[in-house]
A and B are shown apart, each in its own frame.
Chain A
């Protein structure tokens, strides 16, 4: 197929040229009914904010231009089918999970999954089986899943329907995906990849400069955030599937929750971004990689900071690393990652993706250039000169195996009550408690609250960790099942 083609964009332009008189929604009628909005977003944007119609196809049941655009996307990513998603990667994750498991069925997943995965379990009633999570003590971050831990989970739960893998984690760390696929398939389980941070893997250079993309590694489905490294608009994503997945059934599942008024602004952004990636992707990501490698080298030369990379690869839970990710450990200058994040924002007008206890992540992409990178590096040199303190120790982390007593759905919907931390021991938790670092849930709905967990929550609070999730913002009480 001709990857220069952009069928959705072309159809929108054709519609504009034909000057069709709109007696359909949206009611702003190409922006004529809302001057302020048109002035703010621009008339071009409003003129393509139109509804499904004959020449524009229909996202719920694509037969013409959206279908062609999806076929082009499938070819560009080297997969059997691609679905255009306009409700975020969250909806792609939901569709993926709900396509493979029903109420009461098991899904094997790492503890450091994105919230949207656990929320999908609340929606569909599946039961999570967690893989023991490895972490790097020195950096204070969760890693990927070790093959052995996955094997153990699979052998203990041969009735599970699927295994979910982060490819990569937020920090850019990959698991041995092809190993996991081989293992899971041999037990008749499907493999789902949360590839929110891995769009660019599909356009890696010929020498494997980036980790292997999920579908190429044999995974059955992958949810990818085109709006992260792919360059499309926020909230637009692709759901990719391999050849042994029933595409029509997946479409039905998507339509359970996806809007029937798919935004053509988002759809055309996916179409245009796909063409750009297909034509120029390898070149673009080679450049992004160069920028990141340069920044990493300069930052490491500075001393104090540690921008880690593939030297940490261990063939196991740190199986591969996405070198376009600039994750920097800040403990060497005596500052927490979140402190550096805040200093850069407040003093230097630089917005960083996130900071945790010991690290921050600067997102480097298609939209960066040497000038921006140089500003970031120089600002870090200044942060070190002006703000560094004697080095500090990171708190000791502990991974506590969760005890799943009830399905998240059951725990979410059944009557609950709030109890002080210590009185909740032995009860079943009805909400999430996340702890940063390392960004792993301490408790999820349906899990037994143990003395060990409560002790850890108190310790983490004392150490200044950020705890999020519960209804009680002070984390003095927990919602439990009655």
Chain B
């Protein structure tokens, strides 16, 4: 018997993972949620047919979306995480003792429930006493916050799914309002490689550039995404490289497997075609 999970990257390109067994398949009010197990990647989470994370390489994504802003912000105490029902960002955040409060806003309660049950290595930190979980639309949540957070991390799905509102001009504007003056917005910024995805990258970057004084993009290599993958770094005061305090971060002694402060610098040096794509809208 051969059972394969396939994800279409374009109508003409798909990547496939051989499935050992399916652990879970449910339909929530927002999306279809599946968890599979594979020989080489371990368990993996799929939302509406799109691969979200695998046990094997999720550390890359979660470390890069979390530690980059944490190494730049001198003393982030209050963090908002939007999306991220898998708990990966939270697991990285609780490594910092100086963080006082973490609000996690996930629209789909079922994602959290499924991840707690089937992906315990990722969803391990929901019980941390500094974390508060809100099952709410991120756009609505952030609209009612003002001058409150040091860092906002947007760990969203694609704009085609329930995450659509998290790619809008109004969302970035409301994030601006919710952040403190030197706050940082980090967002999952999609892939610049295929034409249609590149349009999303461009449109998203344009909207963030419009909303913040400074907006930079950095990349990470995530094998199961099998394309260049980008993250956005936006702020009104802090520069991702000039304000990087490598010594201070290294003194914290936080254990990571992908992120380090040298890679931090390198991640902001982008391939030529990506620079060109972004500069079109800057």
Residues of A within 8 A of B (CB): 347-349, 370-371, 374-375, 377-379, 381-382, 385-386
Knowing A371-B162, A377-B143, the reply to whether A382 touches B169 (Cβ < 8 A) is yes
Q: Is B95 in contact with chain A by the CB < 8 A criterion?
A: no
Shortest beta-carbon distance, A304 to chain B, in Å? Answer: 14
Residue pair A375, B139 in contact (C-beta under 8 Å): yes
Q: Offer 21 A-B interface pairs, CB within 8 angstroms, sorted by A.
A: A348-B170, A349-B168, A370-B137, A371-B162, A371-B164, A374-B139, A374-B140, A375-B139, A375-B168, A375-B170, A377-B143, A378-B168, A378-B170, A378-B173, A379-B169, A381-B170, A381-B174, A382-B169, A382-B170, A382-B174, A385-B173
CB closest chain-B residue, reference A382:
B173
Prevailing SS type, chain B contact patch? helix
Q: Which of B140, B143, B165, B169 lies in contact with A347, CB distance below 8 A? A: B169
Known A378-B171, A382-B170; further 15 A-B contacts with Cβ < 8 A = A347-B169, A348-B168, A370-B137, A371-B165, A374-B137, A374-B140, A374-B165, A375-B165, A378-B168, A378-B170, A378-B174, A379-B168, A381-B170, A385-B173, A386-B173
Encode B161-181 as 1/0 by CB contact (under 8 A) with A: 010110011110110010000
Shortest beta-carbon distance, B166 to chain A, in Å? Answer: 10
The docked-state distance in angstroms from the alpha carbon of A375 to that of B168 is 8
Q: Which residues from chain A contact B140 at a C-beta distance below 8 Å?
A: 374, 377-378
The docked-state distance in angstroms from the alpha carbon of A385 to that of B175 is 12
Q: Which residues from chain A contact B170 at a C-beta distance below 8 Å?
A: 348, 375, 378-379, 381-382
Q: Which residues from chain A contact B143 at a C-beta distance below 8 Å?
A: 377-378, 381
Q: Which residues from chain A contact B165 at a C-beta distance below 8 Å?
A: 371, 374-375, 378
Q: Which residues from chain A contact B164 at a C-beta distance below 8 Å?
A: 371, 375
Encode B129-158 as 1/0 by CB contact (under 8 A) with A: 000000001011001000000000000000
Shortest beta-carbon distance, B120 to chain A, in Å? Answer: 30
CB closest chain-A residue, reference B173:
A382
Which of B143, B164, B169, B170 has the most C-beta atoms of chain A within 10 angstroms of its own C-beta?
B170
- 5 residue pairs, one from A and one from B, having the closest CB atoms: A379-B170, A378-B170, A382-B173, A374-B139, A348-B169
The docked-state distance in angstroms from the alpha carbon of A378 to that of B137 is 11
The docked-state distance in angstroms from the alpha carbon of A375 to that of B164 is 9
Encode B51-65 as 1/0 by CB contact (under 8 A) with A: 000000000000000
Knowing A347-B169, A371-B162, the reply to whether A378 touches B139 (Cβ < 8 A) is yes
The docked-state distance in angstroms from the alpha carbon of A375 to that of B169 is 9
Q: Which residues from chain B contact A347 at a C-beta distance below 8 Å?
A: 169
Q: Which of B139, B162, B169, B177 lies in contact with A349, CB distance below 8 A? A: B169
Q: Which residues from chain A contact B137 at a C-beta distance below 8 Å?
A: 370-371, 374
The docked-state distance in angstroms from the alpha carbon of A386 to that of B173 is 9
CB closest chain-A residue, reference B29:
A370
The docked-state distance in angstroms from the alpha carbon of A371 to that of B171 is 12
Shortest beta-carbon distance, A240 to chain B, in Å? Answer: 37
Shortest beta-carbon distance, A204 to chain B, in Å? Answer: 26
The docked-state distance in angstroms from the alpha carbon of A294 to that of B111 is 26
CB closest chain-B residue, reference A344:
B170
The docked-state distance in angstroms from the alpha carbon of A349 to that of B170 is 10
Shortest beta-carbon distance, B80 to chain A, in Å? Answer: 15
The docked-state distance in angstroms from the alpha carbon of A118 to that of B63 is 67
Which of A349, A378, A379, A385 has the most C-beta atoms of chain B within 10 angstroms of its own C-beta?
A378
Q: Which residues from chain A contact B173 at a C-beta distance below 8 Å?
A: 378, 382, 385-386
The docked-state distance in angstroms from the alpha carbon of A370 to that of B136 is 11
Q: Which residues from chain B contact A375 at a C-beta distance below 8 Å?
A: 139, 164-165, 168, 170
The docked-state distance in angstroms from the alpha carbon of A349 to that of B171 is 13
Shortest beta-carbon distance, A438 to chain B, in Å? Answer: 30
The docked-state distance in angstroms from the alpha carbon of A379 to that of B171 is 8
Q: Which residues from chain A contact B168 at a C-beta distance below 8 Å?
A: 348-349, 375, 378-379
CB closest chain-A residue, reference B165:
A375
Q: Which residues from chain B contact A385 at a C-beta distance below 8 Å?
A: 173, 177
Q: Which residues from chain B contact A377 at a C-beta distance below 8 Å?
A: 140, 143
Q: Which residues from chain B contact A349 at a C-beta distance below 8 Å?
A: 168-169
The docked-state distance in angstroms from the alpha carbon of A245 to that of B43 is 69
The docked-state distance in angstroms from the alpha carbon of A371 to that of B174 is 16
Shortest beta-carbon distance, B232 to chain A, in Å? Answer: 18
Shortest beta-carbon distance, A351 to chain B, in Å? Answer: 14
Shortest beta-carbon distance, B177 to chain A, in Å? Answer: 6
CB closest chain-A residue, reference B146:
A385
CB closest chain-B residue, reference A377:
B143
The docked-state distance in angstroms from the alpha carbon of A235 to that of B137 is 36
